[in-house]
Amino acid sequence: MSKKNSVHETLFNQEFLASPTISEKFPTVSSVNIKMVFRDDSGNGTIESQNKEFTSMSKAFFQVKCRQRECVNGGFDLSNLITSAINSQQTIAEGRLSCQGWQDLERVGNNHCLWILDYEISVQYAQN
Ligand SMILES: [Zn+2]
């Protein structure tokens, strides 16, 4: 683990542990699925694709790490997007976020990372 990110990393892990489960936070939701495609700052090509499945027992923790190795304090937070999708009973929400971390240690305060996350969130609701 590189030193520069260790404080960030610790906070990330603490927030994960402190998060409620999906069933505690969103009792009407049975599962959440997030399709993610990471791209560099050009917005083209694919660095990595990932699918994440959350069941009702999963932690309601929707922060995602930036894939740019030198990125300082970056990442993507889908929490508000997911919360507002659920509050409006949406089943699909998609869009694009850009990383607001810094490109590397030398560019802190000058150049944002701007790597891209294209996401597609789908929410399944429990029947009652
Ligand atoms: Zn980044």
Give tens-digit pLDDT for 58-76: 999 999 999 999 999 999 9
Give residue 78 CA to ligand 1 midpoint distance, Å: 15
Q: Count structural domains, the chain.
A: 1
Residue 89: exposed, middle, or buried by beta-carbon count in 10 A (0-12, 13-18, 19+)?
A: exposed
Phi and psi of 100, rounded to 5°? Answer: -100, 15
**Ligand 1 centre distance from Cα of residue 122 (Å):** 24
Say if residue 100's pLDDT is above 90.
yes
The pLDDT, as a whole number, for residue 6 is 73
Can you give the residue range of the structural domain that contains 45? Answer: 3-125
The pLDDT value recorded for residue 1 is 44
| Mean of per-residue pLDDT scores for the chain | 93
* 64 CA → ligand 1 middle, Å: 10
Ranges 11-20, 37-46, 111-120: which has the least confidence: 11-20
Percent of the residues in the chain that have a pLDDT greater than 90, as a whole number: 88
pTM of the predicted model as reported, rounded to 2 decimal places:
0.89
Residue 119: its pLDDT value, please?
A: 98
Cα(50) to centroid of ligand 1, in Å?
Answer: 16
Tell me which H or E stretch contains 48: strand 48-55
